Amino acid sequence: MYNNGVGSWLERRRPKSGPKPALISGEQIVSYAELAERTDRLANALRRRGVARGDRVAYLGENDPAFVETFFACGLLGAVFVPLNTRLAAPELQFQLDDAGVRLLVNAEFLDALAAAAVEGTGVQRRLVVGEAFDAAGLPDDGAAPAAPGATSAPEAASAVERYERALRAAPAEPIDETVTLDDGAMILYTSGTTGRPKGALLTHGNITWNCLNVLVDMDLSSTDISLMISPLFHVASLDMGLLPILLKGGTAVLEQKFEPSRALELIERHRVTTLNGVPTTFQMLAEHPSWATTDLSSLTKLTCGGSAIPASVLAAYEARGIGFSNNYGMTETAPGATTLPLGRAQEKIGSAGLPHFFTDIRVVDPIGEVLAAGEVGEIQISGPNVIKQYWNRSDATRDSYADGSWFKSGDMGYRDEEGFLYVSDRLKDMIISGGENIYPAEVEAVIVELPQVASVAVIGVPDEKWGEVPRAIITVREGAQLSDDDVRAHLDGRLARYKIPKSVVFVEEMPRTASGKIRKAELRRQYAF
């Protein structure tokens, strides 16, 4: 095959695992042969709609076979896949669509109104809507020529909304073998930026492939494994640590659109799930559910947790059932694995993020780049074939993110013990992790300061029993103005994803500042992070 990227995986897997279930979604079972054929049809449907090598195709929806098909279809065409977070507000989605230069958007039917609002004013030319029923009136032939440059934009023309299944049925099933190398761009994932605007991490086919190889080696996955996908696939950890390694190996993935503890426990028992990937909050909610004690969990052998360290109480609840954890550390820019804690050593190395993945290296350095000895805290830096080489259209961010040409500067602080196990001690970039979602204060602050009553604002993370931490806004109000916490939240509603909206607001007379005028967030945390 000319295609050496991720798009070739299903074609290579088809003769090896054709009748075996690749995906289970509700009552729907999709075999590897069916998934390969549907992906071929979708790739041809996208090509007929003008998608070519290098074009960006976005997906807006929950965990669904269509998500997987769109990802692999982009890989077949040499196009770039852009998964969108369904929890974002329309302006946030619009920014990402516009910044990536998305040509076509695939969106779930229940998100149709949000998708239409998001694409308005962008360069998106067509939308394919994933849904069962449709009204054919007014829709074009599926063989219609691609929209000409300058044609009416998607939200303004009925012809821009074409049902997904109809498009697949009308498209040929012939395989496409486009030349794709491991160095070609495969996916753009947006990560919130410290400057208030998200930036797109460009993952290559090689980044994704090497990350999957790391998972296969370190997690010892097999073709008999069954993975329950309870986290959204638009998150890199769920997609690249959970789904893709399973499909590469020939296992089965059970897709869940929403995480609900009782249903997750029921699915584990019904499908004899062996692997589960999540964040501390999800694992805690499972252990605290009334059905926890009576659910057969004997099939579970490989649990991986990311986002933050596993609390000792959660670890104990699983170990009491004979289930061990592997704690992971990484980020979007590392596709996302950097380190993993070997199964069986979680209790011995409690609080550790583990050892570097097999094909990945880490180091801890001081401010001038000198590698530190064991036990000394410094910045964590990562190198390896899974680490991105650039941000999308952000040469400045790319330039500032690497040391010595190949070491990605994580912005996280930590240290290694005598055996090389990594411990993450602090976050240099002030990032807040709430229920596995990354929140950058600068992004939230940039929207709050739009309020004319606000003189200054700082957003910090505060402990939360359920979500680990949640954002809190510290605000000074302009003289003579009045502002309530309800006013702040009302202003943010619809502009930011709900998980980014501060759960509490504290009004202060004056902000603590450095000599240069910068707000001293460390002091705010000491006073108000409780």
Encode pLDDT of 246-300 as tens digits: 999 999 999 999 999 999 999 999 999 999 998 888 898 999 999 999 999 999 9
- CATH 3.40.50.12780 in the chain: give the residue spans: 207-427
| Number of other residues whose CB lies within 10 A of the CB of residue 281 | 24
**Mean pLDDT lowest for which of 152-156, 410-414, 437-441?**
152-156
> Residue 25's pLDDT is what?
97
Fold for the domain defined by 207-427: Rossmann fold (3.40.50)
Q: What is the percent of the chain with per-residue pLDDT over 70, rounded to a whole number?
A: 92
Strand ordering across the sheet containing 355-356: 28-31, 21-25, 252-255, 226-229, 275-278, 302-305, 325-330, 337-340, 355-356
DSSP code per residue over 232-254: -TTSHIIIIIIIHHHHHHT-EEE
Nearest-angstrom CA–CA distance, 8 and 85? 26
Contact 432, 441 (CB under 8 A): yes
Kindly tell me if the per-residue pLDDT of 408 is higher than 90: yes
Kindly tell me if the per-residue pLDDT of 313 is higher than 80: no
> Residue 514's pLDDT is what?
66
> Residue 125's pLDDT is what?
94
Q: What end-to-end distance do the CA atoms of the chain give, in Å?
A: 58
Kindly tell me if the per-residue pLDDT of 309 is higher than 80: no
Q: Which is more confident, 443 or 309?
A: 443
Tell me which architecture the domain covering 6-180 has in CATH: 3-Layer(aba) Sandwich (3.40)
Q: Which is more confident, 440 or 264?
A: 264
pTM of the model: 0.86
Q: What is the pLDDT of residues 160-213, one digit of tens each?
A: 578 899 999 999 999 999 999 999 999 999 986 555 678 999 999 999 999 999
Tokens at 198, concatenated: 């998200």
DSSP 8-state class, residue 7? G
> Residue 441's pLDDT is what?
87
Kindly tell me if the per-residue pLDDT of 1 is higher than 50: yes
Residues in the chain, how many? 530
Contacts 24+ apart (CB under 8 A), 310-313: 310/280, 310/283, 310/346, 311/280, 311/284, 312/350
Classify residue 80 by burial, with Cβ atoms within 10 Å: 0-12, 13-18, 19+: buried
- CATH 3.30.300.30 in the chain: give the residue spans: 434-528
When pLDDT is cut at 50, 70 and 90, the band that residue 421 belongs to is very high
Q: Look at the block and give the residue holding tokens 């829709």.
A: 139
Nearest-angstrom CA–CA distance, 208 and 211? 5
Tokens at 96, concatenated: 């990402």
Fold for the domain defined by 434-528: GMP Synthetase; Chain A, domain 3 (3.30.300)
> Residue 143's pLDDT is what?
42
| Phi, psi at 475, each rounded to 5° | -130, 140
Kindly tell me if the per-residue pLDDT of 452 is higher than 80: yes
The overall average pLDDT reported for the chain is: 90
